[in-house]
Amino acid sequence: MRCPFCANEDTNVVDTRSNPGTNAIRRRRKCPKCDKRFTTYERVELRMPRLVKKDGSRSDFDRDKLLGSMVLALRKRPVATEAIDGAVDRIEEKLRSLGDRETPTSRVGDLVMRELAKLDKIAYIRFASVYRSFETPDDFREAVQEIKSPRRGKR
């Protein structure tokens, strides 16, 4: 593993921990040249389903794009980065477990909505306003009611 600070080709693994819930291994590394420490993650690479957009076009699943949209909804909210990463991991795992070769983007959006509802109610409303294309204050009111009531699942 190359050091991200000095580009040294040789780094030492100081600590290794597996995360059973995410199928990832976290490695703490140290560069013998510059003495800096950094963390790497190893994940099993499994095929994700291709995404089918509303217009019928298809694209590859992009974890970074999913993470970016969730981070945007959670911007300036008190949610730990680890919690966001865990939510993205759960969404990926759910998509993989479906076993489909293709899945509609609406399914991904619904999974994101569920995870955001668990993480932060304001982020849920923010995401819902874009995902569902809110046009009136009543649309916001309905989303707030959904998050308040125990019987979620309008969408």
- Full domain range(s) for residue 7: 1-45
**Confidence band of 151 (pLDDT split at 50, 70, 90):** low
pLDDT at 110 > cutoff 50 = yes
Does residue 54 sit in the same domain as residue 115?
A: yes
Does residue 100 sit in the same domain as residue 139?
A: yes
CA pair distance 105, 98, nearest whole angstrom: 14
Does residue 119 sit in the same domain as residue 138?
A: yes
> How many independent structural domains does the chain possess?
2
Q: How far is CA 62 from CA 66, 80, 109, in A?
A: 6, 21, 13
Q: Given this model, what pLDDT does residue 27 score?
A: 94
Q: Given this model, what pLDDT does residue 18 score?
A: 87
Query: What tokens appear for 60 in the block?
Result: 């590859």
Q: Is residue 94 part of a domain?
A: yes
Does residue 103 sit in the same domain as residue 133?
A: yes
Q: In what order do the strands lie in the sheet with 24-30?
A: 12-19, 24-30, 37-43
User: Using an 8 Å Cβ cutoff, are 12 and 29 in contact?
Assistant: yes
Q: How far is CA 12 from CA 4, 8, 34, 153, in A?
A: 13, 11, 12, 48
The one-letter code for the residue type at 8 is N
**Confidence band of 125 (pLDDT split at 50, 70, 90):** confident
CA pair distance 134, 31, nearest whole angstrom: 50
Does the reported pTM lie above 0.85? no
Does residue 96 sit in the same domain as residue 144?
A: yes
pLDDT digits (tens, 9 = 90+) for 70-98: 999 999 999 999 999 999 999 999 998 88
